């Protein structure tokens, strides 16, 4: 081998060694970039797991909420309301303003029952509105600031008559022109056949009354519905008649002035039984039906609105027949504690 051939051979061997070394380096880097299965990504910290898509998109509370509730879920609800056009203080308290906003939103949705309570149908409608990036005109259904008004007797008129837990008494009256839009006749027995307005209740209350009556029937009891919805004008005539018979002071212990009657709300039903000849008398509370109602009404969202021993608070006599629908949550708290709606709200 001559000198020139030897030089070329050495050069070739040198180049081959360099290429082999480069190939080894490339393979080393390739292997380091391939993470073992299960190794966290650069944006995922050890111990963390990827959120479920539903959890990522959680913009509204999952459970039911209503007046007097508080906490992070209420704050989330208030934030959701603000997203669609409201200006609710995000304080985590389901207060009157939050109740108004929910009521106003429900009034602007054709498919929702109006109650001021955040329930499953309201949740779906609110979430749909947010996902569609839609906004609403706050107050278009129910103005937040109603014009101050009083009845002829000087009683303050409440601003939100739709509120399922509204306090209606001698100090808080319903507007004279308020007529519930969802009045229906519950499928329960009445001691009369005529289709009178007093057979009616708001839809949610009517459905719950049907369930209550069905359960009582299973227990072998006989309940009859006697008097539900009553218009402002009808209440005016009834109160005037009672005043003529008993005088205004006495009449107002058992009969409400117009606007001050819960019957106008559509959330009340007077009930009775054959054991008291279908009358509305205190003896009803001593019957098997009356005792059963005392123990079980709350399971269906009803309270005995004017309980015995609370006359100084309610300003009405004991009425074991007068059922008021407030929903299961409020009813159970009120009945289990033996308090009135006034005490519950105040």
Task: Identify whether 250 is part of a domain.
Answer: yes
Give domain status of residue 111, yes or no: yes
Instruction: Kindly state whether residue 39 falls inside one of the protein's structural domains.
Output: no
pLDDT of 293 > 80? The answer is yes
If asked whether residues 285 and 213 sit together in one domain, one would say: yes
| 319 catalytically annotated | yes
Q: Average of pLDDT values for 115-120? A: 98
Examine the pLDDT at 56 and tell me if it is beyond 80: no
Residues 161 and 97 in one domain: no
Q: What are the C-alpha distances in Å from 131 to residues 112, 113, 125, 139?
A: 18, 22, 10, 21
Residue ranges making up the domain that contains 260 = 156-345
Instruction: Please check whether residue 339 lies inside any domain of the structure.
Output: yes
> How would residue 49 be classed by pLDDT, with cut points 50, 70 and 90?
very low
**Cα-based angle 167, 169, 173 (whole degrees, multiple of 5):** 80
**Which of 137-151, 183-197, 331-345 shows the lowest mean pLDDT across its residues?**
137-151
226 within 8 A of 190, measured Cβ to Cβ: yes
Same domain, 278 and 201: yes
Is 209 within the bounds of a domain? yes
**241 and 274 both lie in a single domain:** yes
Mean pLDDT of 160-171: 97
Six token digits for residue 323: 């059922």
Is 53 within a domain?
no
Asked, for residue 86, whether it belongs to a domain, the answer is: yes
Q: Nearest to residue 238, comparing CAs of 205, 198, 208? A: 198
Q: For residue 118, what pLDDT band results from cuts at 50, 70 and 90? A: very high
Q: What is the pLDDT of residue 145?
A: 84
Rg (CA), the chain: 34
Q: Provide the CA 77 distance to its chain's centre, in angstroms.
A: 12
State the total domains in the chain: 2
Q: What is the mean pLDDT of the chain?
A: 87
Residue 91 has pLDDT above 70, yes or no: yes
Note whether 183 and 276 are same-domain residues.
yes
The pLDDT assigned to 58 comes to: 59
Residues 251 and 300 in one domain: yes
- Co-location of 215 and 278 in the same domain: yes
Which of the residues 319, 333, 342, 343 is marked catalytic?
319
Which pTM value belongs to this model?
Answer: 0.82
- As given in the structure block, the two tokens for residue 16 are 């081959």
């Amino acid at each position: 081998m001559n000198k020139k051939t030897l030089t070329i051979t050495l050069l070739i061997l040198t180049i081959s060694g360099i290429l082999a070394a480069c190939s080894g380096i490339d393979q080393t880097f390739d292997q380091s970039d391939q993470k073992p299965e299960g190794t966290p990504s650069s944006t995922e910290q050890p111990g963390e797991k990827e959120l479920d898509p539903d959890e990522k998109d959680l913009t509204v509370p999952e459970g039911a909420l209503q007046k007097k509730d508080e906490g992070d879920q209420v704050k989330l609800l208030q934030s959701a309301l603000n997203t669609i056009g409201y200006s609710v203080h995000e304080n985590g308290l389901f207060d009157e303003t939050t109740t108004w906003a929910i009521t106003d939103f429900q009034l602007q949705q054709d498919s929702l029952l109006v109650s001021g309570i955040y329930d499953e149908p309201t949740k779906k409608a609110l979430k749909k509105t947010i996902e569609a990036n839609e906004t609403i005109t706050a107050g278009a259904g129910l103005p937040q600031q109603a014009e101050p008004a009083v009845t002829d007797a000087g009683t303050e008129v409440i601003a939100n008559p739709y509120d399922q837990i509204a306090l209606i008494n001698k100090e808080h009256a319903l507007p004279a022109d308020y007529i519930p839009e969802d009045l229906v006749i519950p499928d329960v027995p009445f001691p009369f056949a005529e289709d009178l307005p007093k057979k009616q209740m708001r839809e949610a209350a009517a459905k719950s009354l049907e369930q209550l009556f069905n359960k009582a029937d299973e227990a072998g009891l006989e309940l009859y519905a006697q008097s539900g919805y009553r218009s402002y004008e009808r209440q005016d005539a009834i109160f005037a008649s009672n005043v003529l018979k008993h005088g205004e002071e006495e009449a107002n212990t058992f009969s409400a002035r117009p606007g001050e009657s819960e019957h106008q709300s559509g959330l009340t039903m007077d009930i009775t039984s054959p054991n008291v000849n279908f009358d509305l008398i205190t003896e009803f509370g001593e019957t098997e039906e009356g005792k059963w109602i005392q123990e079980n009404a709350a399971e269906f969202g009803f309270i005995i609105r004017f309980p015995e021993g609370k006359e100084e608070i309610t300003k009405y006599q004991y009425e074991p027949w007068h059922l008021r629908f407030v929903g299961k949550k409020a009813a159970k708290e009120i009945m289990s504690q033996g308090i009135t709606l006034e005490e519950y709200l105040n």
